[in-house]
Structures are given as structure tokens and as C-alpha cells.
Structure 1
Amino acid sequence: MGQWIQKASMPTPRHDLQAITVGNQIYAISGGGDLTSDVVEIYDVETDTWSQGPPIPTKRGWFGAVLLEKKIYTIAGKTIRSEDEKARTGDPANYDIRDSVEVLDLTSQTWMSLQPITAPRAGLAATLCKGKIYAIGGNAMNNEIRTGGPHLDTVEIYDPQRDQWSPGVPIPTPLQGPALATIDDRIYITAGIGGTERKPNSDTYVFDPDVGKWEQLAPIPTPRCDPGSLVVDRKIYTFGGWGNGGYYDNVEIYDIDADRWTSDASLPEKKAWMATALVQKRIFVMGGAYRLADDSGYKWIDDLHELVT
């Protein structure tokens, strides 16, 4: 079992963010608390310090993000609307659901817009496979957030050479908030919430783009939505999340070669909607949130922890 070590906290507490590893740095992008933030904060693993990056043009949470050729792609998501904005526009909707795609050029440290995704969505997951970006699942929302709105089984594939989206093979179960990973040019998806019963999901699937078919694998032991996840040595780590048991701190690991799940040291606290990053086989988990015990709101988290094995 590993041990969690606390590192320098994020300057801005937030959930629904994304984290991207660039060399020895981690870019913690957008997300927020009561309102969505445009903040980009950069963590230096060697010095255990944070610095400010260029703010994202469109504030977004619950979005997808990938790194490709020195560019960070941010895809779709939601923006929480303030009460002032609702009053000013006369629109009572709690969220703006995004279809925009914005890219941070790491060389120039500037943002640019690309072709939007075909359908606005939040709660999707994104991964890179064979030079293309796969945006999978999500929620059309309908002004609700966690379980409201239709869950999506759609897969959209972005070709960066053509700046163009095309449809992919739908996932077997419509899902929002799943864990997603690519290993050996195959895409793995697990957890999330969805299906006809709109309950936390335990199904695990793998997709081979050369075959064009989803295959079912061993289910995750704890059905959960919105866990953190990353890949280490051909294993998929899932952290926390939420489900029928409330919020979780357990860590479950899928071995793709054995088609088997095992466990590791639990998170320091129970939470969901966190971001994860891997820097030279060092595992980092940051941010997230959980519902307060008195049901009065959420705790937005600024903690950064490293799992030392």
C-alpha cells in the first residue's frame, strides 16, 4: 500500500477542473466552486510551488481535456450562471452548456478557438488515441446538474489535422462522469452514472478503433461517478467519486492484462470531481468537492496530495 503526502495547496479551491502534465509541471485548468473560474494555475513538481497561467477564455467545469503536440485542448463543459446574470438576461437557467473547444498553445502561452464539438455537453470524458481526440458520453443537462438531463452514449472524434469532428461508435451504456483512459491504442471506460435507471455504473468496456467494437470487461468493484483517474504501468487508477454510499475515498486499480481490480491506499478524504496528474510515475490528486453533512452546500477543496508507493 502507498501513502498520501500533502503538498502545496492550490491557490484557488475548486472542483470540476482538469489537470494536464507538461514536463515537470501540472496545469490545473478552470473548474470552480459556487461559480466557475477562468483560472489556470501551474504546479512545479520539483519546487512544490504554484504560479499563474493564462486564464481560459471561456470559464468551464465538468469538461474534457487532453495534451497533443504542445497544446492543451479543452472541450465542452458547463459554466455556472450567477444570480446577477440570470436577472440581467431574464434567463433562469443555472448553467450554460458548452460546445466550444479552446486550445492553449504552450509555446506562446496563448489561447485559440477551434471547431466546436457537434453537440453541447457537460460531464464528458476525453482521451487521445492514434492522434485523434475522443470525447465520450456526458449530459445534455436541461438546467439540472448531477443526475438531470439525458445521459449520452455518443462518441465524437476530433481530427486535429482537419479541425473537424466526426461521429464514433456509441458506448454501450449512456454515461456522464466516467473514468476514461487509452493504453496501447485501445480506449477503456468505467464508472460514471447513467443507463436507464440513472444509477452509479460499474460496467467497464474497452474499444479498439481498428475493430470498431466495444467489449465488456471486469466491472469496477465500487460503482461510482466522477472519480479521478489516470494510467500507471498499464494499470488504470480510479480515485474517490460518489455513488449510493455517498462520497468515496477508496482507490481501485484495473490491471488490463489480468482483467482484474485491486485496491491501494485510500484518499485522505472522501471527495469527487477532483483532478489527477502523473509526472514521471508520481501520482498527484488535487481539488474536488463533497456535500456538507448538514446539506447546506459543498466544500470546495484546494488540497494537493501525492501518492508515494
Structure 2
Amino acid sequence: MCEEILPWSPSDDLEVLSSVIRYDVCSGVWSKCAPLAVPRFDFACTVCDNKIYVAGGQCTLGVARGTSSAEVYNPMLDEWKPLPDMNVIRYKCVGVTWQGKIHVIGGFAEKADLDKLPRNTIGRCSAEVYNSDNAKWDLVMGMWQLDVPPNQIVAVDEKLYSSGDCLNAWKGHIEEYDGKFWNEVEGSHLETLSSPNSVWDANWPPAKRIYITMAAIGSKLFFLAGYRKPGETSRLMSVVHVFDTWAKRDGGRSLEPTEEEGEKELCSHACVVFLPNN
């Protein structure tokens, strides 16, 4: 989370950074890590075998051009190592670890690389799968079946789940991928997420959702959503919505909302940290 500070001018100095920081959830302390070899933003990121993988993204501001480079971070050694380049330059792609492999899905593909794809296919619908056995990226066509890049994708058991794309983070329902097709999950039209007024007083004017992010724990999908509550003063209401992918019916529920003064924006996606039992 980050607080919104206004006013902001486009002329302010901006740059793409390679810096990386980490947060110790036990001590509550932030510290610096070894920097990325390639500065980037709007890249794919996921964790596999206690290592952090990043791939794709943009390296330059103001230019709609991505990168195919990838690297992996070992937190025990505080060290980044380069990986082979992906087959296609892409940014605004999504990373997820599924079936023991790194998947980089969707994103805006560089036009110059489209000749590497089979004819009559859309580059944004493709994915790259990293095979650590032969240190190679395999190109998979049609894994994301929309021309618009995904927002978030998480893995639960043998399926992938998505709730929206980079233009609309919540499409009104949840979709699951079984390895061949994306299908709408039955009963996933969460009314409180689509119409947050049902969480508080239905007589209030419509609230505006300003962020939503998703994380998976066990069989459940957790959605953290923030709403700008209507009224004379600026107030933020945060709500956690839960959907159980194993439930046969009525798998969704909402937890008690919290409110605070002012406005905030979500600067990244949610993640899950498992703490050892002491």
C-alpha cells in the first residue's frame, strides 16, 4: 500500500530502478537486497523452490517496448543469476508457478517478435514455460485466451484461477484453467465484491472500487478490495472477500470491513507468507 500524494507533475524526475528490498515479517524490518541485473517494471514474478523468478517487463519509461530477459534470485546467497531469454519480448505479463514449472502468461508481445509465433495466432495469448532441466523456455500458444493481458493468476491444486485482466481487475466472476480451457467457476459471482454497498448500508450512493488483489491459501481465494466510501469526507473501506474453490455451492463470503480516513492506492499484488511454527 502507498498513500496518494498530490499534486504530481509529469515533469517530475522518474526512472526505472534495479533496486530490490525485502520485508522480514517477524522483525518488521525492511532491508536492501542485491539489485536486479536488468532494471524493469510491469514484469512477471513468481516463487519456485524458495527462489524468486522475474521475467519480461519494460526497461525504459515512455517507450512501449519490453524485454525478453529473465533472472532468478537466491535469498540465501542474496544473489541474482541470469536465465535464458524468453522466446518473445513481453511486458504486463503475469508469473505463476504451476505443476512445478515457471509460467509467464500473456502480456503485450513485441511486434518484431510476432514472426516467431505460428501464423494466425495472437502473441498476447501465448505463454512461456521455463524448464529447469534443460534451462529452456518453451512457448505455449493459447494459454491465455484474451487479447488483453491478465491482471493476476494463482494456482490451486491442478488448476489456475483468474478474476480479471489489466483493464478490469474484477470481471464479475472467477475463471479457472484446467490445462486446456478457461471456464467460468459456478457460483463465483460474488455479490458483495461486485456491489460493495451490500457490505454496509444499501441506502448509500454507489461506492467506487479503487483496488483489488487476489491470493490463494489452500483451496480458498482471498480478495482484498478497497472502496472509496461516498460522503463529504474522504474515507477508505477495505474488505476481504473469500471464495472456496472446493465448495459445491455458496462458496463466497465477506469478512468484516475496516474503515480509515484518507485515500490509499495498491502499488502491488498480494502474496502469502507461511511462518514456521516455533
TM-score range, shorter chain: 0.5 to 0.7
Shift in Å, 1:41: 0.8
C-alpha distance in 2 between matches for 1:232 and 1:43: 20
**In the alignment, which of 155, 167, 173 is matched to residue 182 of structure 1?**
155
Other-structure match for 1:163: 135
Other-structure match for 1:112: 81
**In the alignment, which of 49, 55, 58 is matched to residue 29 of structure 2?**
49
Say which is worse superposed, 219-228 or 163-172, in terms of deviation.
Answer: 219-228
Under a length normalisation based on structure 1, what TM-score does the superposition of the two structures give?
Answer: 0.61
The 3 A distance-change label for structure 1 pair 222 and 157 is: farther
Other-structure match for 1:101: 70
The 3 A distance-change label for structure 1 pair 165 and 80 is: same
Q: CA RMSD in A?
A: 3.7
| C-alpha contact (below 8 Å) 2:93/2:150 kept by paired residues | yes
Alignment of 1:133-148 (within 5 A): 133-140=102-109
Other-structure match for 1:262: 253
Shift in Å, 1:276: 2.2
Other-structure match for 1:214: 182
| C-alpha contact (below 8 Å) 1:179/1:192 kept by paired residues | yes
Under a length normalisation based on structure 2, what TM-score does the superposition of the two structures give?
Answer: 0.67
| Structure 2 unaligned blocks of 5 or more | 6-12, 112-121, 196-208, 228-235
Query: How many pairs does the alignment contain?
Result: 227
Alignment of 1:1-309 (within 5 A): 34-81=14-61, 93-140=62-109, 152-166=124-138, 167-193=140-166, 201-209=171-179, 212-217=180-185, 218-219=188-189, 221-222=193-194, 227-240=212-225, 249-258=238-247, 260-264=251-255, 265=257, 269-280=263-274
Shift in Å, 1:182: 0.6
**Could you say what secondary structure the match of 2:124 adopts?**
coil
| C-alpha contact (below 8 Å) 2:89/2:110 kept by paired residues | no
| C-alpha contact (below 8 Å) 1:178/1:225 kept by paired residues | no
| Structure 1 unaligned blocks of 5 or more | 1-5, 14-32, 82-92, 143-149, 283-309
**Could you say what secondary structure the match of 2:67 adopts?**
strand
| C-alpha contact (below 8 Å) 1:179/1:226 kept by paired residues | no
Q: Deviations over 1:165-209 (max 9, x none)?
A: 221543233332422111112111121146xxx896345321223
C-alpha distance in 2 between matches for 1:184 and 1:226: 26
C-alpha distance in 2 between matches for 1:97 and 1:266: 39
C-alpha distance in 2 between matches for 1:51 and 1:190: 33
C-alpha distance in 2 between matches for 1:266 and 1:98: 40
C-alpha distance in 2 between matches for 1:131 and 1:119: 22
Say which is worse superposed, 56-65 or 133-142, in terms of deviation.
Answer: 133-142
| C-alpha contact (below 8 Å) 2:152/2:163 kept by paired residues | yes
C-alpha distance in 2 between matches for 1:35 and 1:115: 26
Q: Which has the higher strand share?
A: 1
Other-structure match for 2:10: none
Q: Deviations over 1:50-75 (max 9, x none)?
A: 11110111111121112222321101
State which structure, 1 or 2, has the greater radius of gyration over its C-alpha atoms: 2
| C-alpha contact (below 8 Å) 1:193/1:201 kept by paired residues | no
Q: Deviations over 1:87-115 (max 9, x none)?
A: xxxxxx53541211111123332211112
Higher RCO (C-alpha 8 Å, min separation 6): 1
**Could you say what secondary structure the match of 1:277 adopts?**
coil
